[in-house]
Structure 1
Amino acid sequence: MKKTELRGRLLLLASIGISGIGSWIYFIALNLVVLQITGSALAVSTLYIVRAAAAMLTNLWAGSLIDRLNKKHVMIGLNLIQAAVILWLAFSNSLLVIYVLVGITTAVGAAYEPTSMAYITKFLPEEKRKRFNSLRSLLDAGAFFTGPAVAGLLVMVGTPATAICINSIALVLSALLLWFVPNIEPKGFTTQKVQRLSFYMIKQDWHLVFSFSRHAVGVMLIYLLFSFMTVLMTATDSLEAAFSVKELGLTEGEYGLLVSIAGGGVLIGALLNTIIVEKIPTSWLLGMGSMLTAGGYMLFTNSTTFFIAACGCALISFAMAFANAAFYTFYQTYIPVEIMGRVGSLYGLVESLCIIIVTALFGILVEVISIRLVVIIGAALMIIVALAVWTCSLRVLVQRKNVSVEKVST
């Protein structure tokens, strides 16, 4: 049993690492492809709107299927679908077709995340999750550090389309590794659980999520606050390049170095996290990571020199390694695995909607006031939200009162 569990953990981590590097290669190469076809920055920006809209539409219903299907098979199927769609995208020259394919692959990715989270939670004993999540954070950091470099190398020796094809291959390899992970569902699970997807089913599932949220107000408040941190970071990051060039006067080379420093910061943070994760409570890791992240943004947005900006970026990425790993553990511990897909999808819908609204609002504010003031406002809001995350974490998580699905259903 222990040997099977260890092999399963290693296969999962390998799958996550391979697909993570592939995702970064795809992300950078896709922007270059659209820019080559259109020469328009607006066309590239539209990709982000398409991705957010596709994720929102998927989150409306995906959770209802995720919790009722065999999660191992769903993960394999989603990886293979993504691989096929991305391969098609690599050879497409029509902007409309690219947008449609990006929407499809984003929708598939939006369904994959809560599926994998539910699988990991069911597969791993609670005492093994913190260590696994710290290693997962390390792999994410490695992907962030190496992915852009690999993408740049592939584009130099080939084309952006070649780089996109590499991501398709990475997804196939990821699916192949997942084929050998243990099947966590009991016999007959699929045939017993699956019903025809309908509006009534989705409505009932939403009611279940709302009912759970009422029974676990403290837990869901932490979830929403951390999600809003993500919203503010995304909106602020959308102005990062413009702020670096226009306000700090950085060259393209200096901005590239800033991104590399951020990659180094997240790698160091993730390495340190794997060492100390077992010694520090999740509530402290989540709260401390959030506060340091917000502090990094405040340092970066108030910077006037490259050195201060670099320190801010390094602190942001360093602290996010702790915050993200802690959030994974928090989610796996306090959200019942039976409804994890539905909770993740519904709240993911809210987060996607907020990202669109707040990012658009920041973009409008830039035209009215200075870009520096807008990003400072974003950083100040982050500090307030991060402080709320830390306070709620210390008050709620130490009580350790989990809410069961049976209690919610009654």
Structure 2
Amino acid sequence: MKHLVESWKYPSILLLGIGVSNLGAWVYLIALNLLIFEITGSPLAVAVLYILIPLATMFTNFWCGSIVDRLNKRNVMIFLDIFRALCLFLVPWLLDASLLLLYIIVFLINMATSMFNPTSMVYITKLIPSEQRKRFNSLISLIDSGAFLLGPALAGVLFIIGTPELGIIINAIALFLSGLITLLMPNLEKQSQAINKDEEKLSIQLLMKDFQIVMNFSRKSVYIMLVYFLFSSVIVMTAAVDSLEAVFAKEVLSLSDSDYGFLVTVAGGGIIVGAFINTLFVKKIAISFMIGLGSTFVSVGYIIYSFSNSFFIAALGFFILAFSLAFANTGFLTFYQNNIPVDVMGRIGSLYGLVEATLIIISTGIIALLAQVISIQFAVITGSLVMLLISVILCTLNLKSSKSNYYQPTRLEKLEVN
């Protein structure tokens, strides 16, 4: 018991920080949407907020990996949390000043988030021993799903007793607390070299050198990067199809606002149930099954939803896709951590994240065009079928017996020894 408590001391603190940050993020997202719409009365002004997310990723990811892999990860995480908190504190005072300035602040927050994600991934991989990663990732999935349900509910309570501005301030405080919690974590890179050395200064030459490193790793690790790319493509298609979710519910299924809200709640229930079962049985399920079958059933859920003509069928599809997503995400995160060396993980995650953001913008545009030119249901069905095709190919790759060594938790450790 003493060993168990000791081994989960820091992972538990980290999970607390992630939970606090995720809850705050949901409150911020809903509050900002309401505030922008209240000020402008324009759905387009609200849509710009969602466009800023992949744009920030595209602007940030081609260079941030080079910084992430060379700096102290814990210190970067603390800095980014506090930076985002300070930016959020400015938001309520900018609402009446300038919409453009507000968008710039939101863009900076999204840039910091884009940089935080690969940084935290590297730190988590270094902190969590290989044999604990599946369990830890399943708990992250449970926390994410809990935030998905509790975040909007917390936002609703805050808006009843206060205002959306209060929700923004609450998220700023949550991020500040997350930074303080990270201060309690061990400094794993005390001897880390700073990037301000002459040979390590951020430059075009350094970026080209790092790009070559990522390409060389990709060529030597074709199977790993193929699994990475196919899983990312499934996520890209979910984002594209989700962009029409509200319109599909209103125009195709003829749902009222309350019915649509209940449909989203069903998805939240699916995530919670899936994440809970995933946490209970994570040790007994192979990583390859979690990725392959999880992704396939996510696609099956979208197929059911896209062909639905009633609330019940759509709700069934939502529950299946949300339930399966918990397994797919846990499996992929564990696969990623077990197969990508930590010294290049930031650069690989950032560059491929840039590709993913670009594909999200392109695929969302294509889906929207199909909805405009042909029909909403045709667009959603097409996106879901493409997703199913990709996930079946991914599942076939995952379940190849000849590739089973890629799903062993100690694979990288064995390679380093050899």
Which TM-score band (shorter chain)?
A: over 0.9
Answer with 193-202 or 63-72: which moved more.
Answer: 193-202
Aligned residue for 2:333?
Answer: 328
Q: Which amino acid aligns with 2:149?
A: F
Q: In the alignment, what sits opposite 1:133?
A: 137
- Equivalent-residue separation in structure 1 for 2:305 and 2:191 (angstroms): 54
Distance 2:143 2:282 in 1: 15
Q: Structure 1 245/316 Cα, relative in aligned 2: closer, same or farther at 3 Å?
A: same
Separation in 2 of the partners of 1:54 and 1:149?
Answer: 28
Residue 124 of structure 2 corresponds to residue 120 of structure 1: yes
- What displacement does 1:360 show? 1.1
Per the TM alignment, residue 207 of structure 1 is displaced from its structure 2 partner at its CA by 0.4
The question of whether the paired residues in 2 share the 8 Å contact of 1:91 and 1:161 is answered with no
Match for 1:161: what amino acid? E
What is the match of residue 91 of structure 2?
89
1:48 match? 50
- What are the Cα deviations for residues 88-123 of structure 1, in whole angstroms up to 9, with x where unaligned? 113212211121011100000001111111001111
Structure 2 unaligned segments of length 5 or more: list them.
none
Partner residue in 1 for 2:287: 282
Q: Give the CA deviation at 1:183.
A: 1.2
1:149 paired residue among 138, 148, 153: 153
Q: How much has 1:124 moved relative to structure 2? A: 1.2
CA distance in 2, matches of 1:118, 1:225: 21
Query: Whole-Å Cα distance in 2 between the matches of residues 25 and 283 of structure 1?
Result: 35
Give TM-score, length-normalised by structure 2.
0.94
For residues 126-175 of structure 1, what are the alpha-carbon distances to aligned partners after superposition, in whole Å with 9 as ceiling and x for unaligned? 00100000011000010001101111221222221111111111101111
- Code of the residue aligned with 2:404 in structure 1: it is V
Partner of 2:41: 39
2:272 partner SS: helix
One-letter code aligned to 2:146: G
Aligned partner of 1:173 in structure 2 is 177
Deviations 1:289-312 (A, max 9, x none): 101100000011111111111111
Query: Secondary structure of 1:68's match?
Result: coil
Structure 2 residue aligned with 1:309? 314
Alignment of 1:178-257 (within 5 A): 178-185=182-189, 187-191=190-194, 195-257=200-262
Q: Does the CA contact (< 8 Å) of 1:283 and 1:397 recur in 2? A: no
**C-alpha distance in 2 between matches for 1:399 and 1:12:** 29
Give the Cα–Cα distance (whole angstroms) in 2 for the partners of residues 193 and 295 of structure 1.
50
- TM-score, structure 1 length as denominator? 0.96
Q: Which residue type is aligned with residue 60 of structure 1? A: F
Alignment partner for residue 399 of structure 1, among 402, 405, 411?
405
1:13 equivalent to 2:15? Answer yes
Which residue number in structure 2 is paired with residue 75 of structure 1? 77
Secondary structure of the 2:358 match is helix
Change in Cα spacing, 1:120 to 1:323, as seen in structure 2 (3 Å) is same
Q: Kindly indicate whether the alpha-carbon contact (under 8 Å) linking 1:215 and 1:403 is maintained by their aligned counterparts in 2.
A: no
Q: Which runs of 5+ in 1 are unaligned?
A: none
Could you tell me how far apart the structure 1 residues matched to 2:324 and 2:292 are? Answer: 10
Partners in 2 of 1:400 and 1:31 — Cα distance?
Answer: 42
Amino acid at match of 1:110: S
2:102 aligned partner: 98
CA contact (8 A) 1:67 1:339 kept: yes
Alpha-carbon distance in 1 for matches of 2:6, 2:169: 33
Identity within the alignment, %: 45
Letter in 2 for 1:127: E
In structure 2, the partner of 1:350 is 355
| 1:232-260, Cα deviation, whole Å (9 max, x unpaired) | 10010000000000000000000001111
Letter in 1 for 2:80: L
Contact 2:296 2:388 (C-alpha < 8 Å) held by counterparts: yes
Aligned to 1:64: 66
1:24 aligns with 2:30: no
Aligned length in residues: 405
Once the two structures are TM-superposed, the CA of residue 403 in structure 1 deviates from its matched residue by 7.2
Aligned-partner Cα distance in 2 for 1:268–1:193: 47
State the AA in 2 paired with 1:181: M
Does the CA-based 8 Å contact 1:19-1:174 persist in structure 2?
Answer: yes
> What is the identity, as a one-letter code, of the residue corresponding to 1:323?
A
1:329 positional shift: 0.3
Q: Deviations over 1:377-407 (max 9, x none)?
A: 0110111011111111123741339679x99
Could you say what secondary structure the match of 1:190 adopts? coil
Give the AA of the match of 1:190.
Q
Distance 2:194 2:231 in 1: 36
Aligned-pair distance for 1:56?
A: 0.7
Distance 2:131 2:125 in 1: 11
Instruction: Indicate the SS of the match to 2:285.
Output: coil
Q: Following TM superposition, by how much is the alpha carbon of 1:347 offset from its aligned partner in structure 2, in angstroms?
A: 0.2
